[in-house]
Structure 1
Amino acid sequence: MFFAQNVVFMWFKCLILKEVLNQLKEIEVSKAKINAIIRSLFF
Protein backbone atom coordinates (compact mmCIF):
# COMPACT_ATOMS: atom_id res chain seq x y z
CA MET A 1 0.00 0.00 0.00
CA PHE A 2 2.76 2.41 0.98
CA PHE A 3 4.61 1.66 -2.25
CA ALA A 4 1.53 2.39 -4.35
CA GLN A 5 1.06 5.74 -2.62
CA ASN A 6 4.71 6.56 -3.33
CA VAL A 7 4.30 5.79 -7.03
CA VAL A 8 1.19 7.96 -7.28
CA PHE A 9 2.97 10.77 -5.44
CA MET A 10 6.00 10.57 -7.76
CA TRP A 11 3.73 10.57 -10.83
CA PHE A 12 1.83 13.58 -9.46
CA LYS A 13 5.09 15.45 -8.84
CA CYS A 14 6.23 14.71 -12.40
CA LEU A 15 2.95 16.05 -13.77
CA ILE A 16 3.23 19.24 -11.72
CA LEU A 17 6.86 19.67 -12.77
CA LYS A 18 5.96 19.26 -16.45
CA GLU A 19 3.14 21.77 -16.09
CA VAL A 20 5.45 24.29 -14.39
CA LEU A 21 8.07 23.84 -17.10
CA ASN A 22 5.44 24.39 -19.80
CA GLN A 23 4.29 27.57 -18.07
CA LEU A 24 7.87 28.80 -17.84
CA LYS A 25 8.43 28.10 -21.54
CA GLU A 26 5.29 30.04 -22.43
CA ILE A 27 6.43 32.93 -20.23
CA GLU A 28 9.83 32.90 -21.98
CA VAL A 29 8.12 32.97 -25.38
CA SER A 30 5.85 35.85 -24.40
CA LYS A 31 8.80 37.76 -22.90
CA ALA A 32 10.63 37.36 -26.21
CA LYS A 33 7.55 38.61 -28.08
CA ILE A 34 7.20 41.60 -25.74
CA ASN A 35 10.90 42.42 -26.18
CA ALA A 36 10.53 42.23 -29.96
CA ILE A 37 7.51 44.54 -29.86
CA ILE A 38 9.32 47.03 -27.63
CA ARG A 39 12.36 46.95 -29.92
CA SER A 40 10.24 47.55 -33.01
CA LEU A 41 8.55 50.50 -31.28
CA PHE A 42 11.71 52.23 -30.11
CA PHE A 43 14.37 51.36 -32.69
Structure 2
Amino acid sequence: MYEIKKQIIRYRIENDLTQKELADRIGTKQSAISRLENDDYNPSV
Protein backbone atom coordinates (compact mmCIF):
# COMPACT_ATOMS: atom_id res chain seq x y z
CA MET A 1 0.00 0.00 0.00
CA TYR A 2 2.93 2.33 0.70
CA GLU A 3 3.98 2.16 -2.95
CA ILE A 4 0.53 3.30 -4.11
CA LYS A 5 0.63 6.25 -1.72
CA LYS A 6 4.08 7.17 -3.01
CA GLN A 7 2.91 7.03 -6.61
CA ILE A 8 -0.14 9.21 -5.94
CA ILE A 9 1.98 11.85 -4.23
CA ARG A 10 4.64 11.70 -6.97
CA TYR A 11 2.03 12.02 -9.73
CA ARG A 12 0.42 15.00 -8.01
CA ILE A 13 3.74 16.80 -7.53
CA GLU A 14 5.05 16.08 -11.03
CA ASN A 15 1.82 17.38 -12.56
CA ASP A 16 1.60 20.39 -10.20
CA LEU A 17 -1.85 19.36 -8.94
CA THR A 18 -3.52 20.08 -5.65
CA GLN A 19 -5.35 17.29 -3.87
CA LYS A 20 -8.61 18.91 -5.01
CA GLU A 21 -7.52 19.03 -8.66
CA LEU A 22 -6.48 15.38 -8.61
CA ALA A 23 -9.73 14.40 -6.91
CA ASP A 24 -11.75 16.24 -9.56
CA ARG A 25 -9.82 14.46 -12.33
CA ILE A 26 -10.52 11.01 -10.95
CA GLY A 27 -14.05 11.68 -9.72
CA THR A 28 -13.61 11.63 -5.97
CA LYS A 29 -13.39 14.10 -3.10
CA GLN A 30 -10.30 15.93 -1.89
CA SER A 31 -10.72 14.28 1.51
CA ALA A 32 -10.28 10.84 -0.09
CA ILE A 33 -6.96 11.91 -1.61
CA SER A 34 -5.87 13.35 1.71
CA ARG A 35 -6.68 10.08 3.47
CA LEU A 36 -4.77 8.07 0.85
CA GLU A 37 -1.71 10.27 1.29
CA ASN A 38 -1.89 10.09 5.09
CA ASP A 39 0.50 7.58 6.69
CA ASP A 40 -2.04 6.72 9.40
CA TYR A 41 -4.67 5.58 6.88
CA ASN A 42 -4.62 2.03 5.54
CA PRO A 43 -7.37 1.51 2.96
CA SER A 44 -8.43 -1.86 1.66
CA VAL A 45 -8.07 -2.36 -2.05
TM-score range, shorter chain: 0.3 to 0.5
Greater RCO (CA < 8 Å, at least 6 residues apart): 2
Q: Which of these two proteins has the greater Rg computed from alpha carbons?
A: 1
Normalised by the size of structure 2, how large is the TM-score? 0.35
Greater helix fraction, Structure 1 or Structure 2: 1
Normalised by the size of structure 1, how large is the TM-score? 0.36
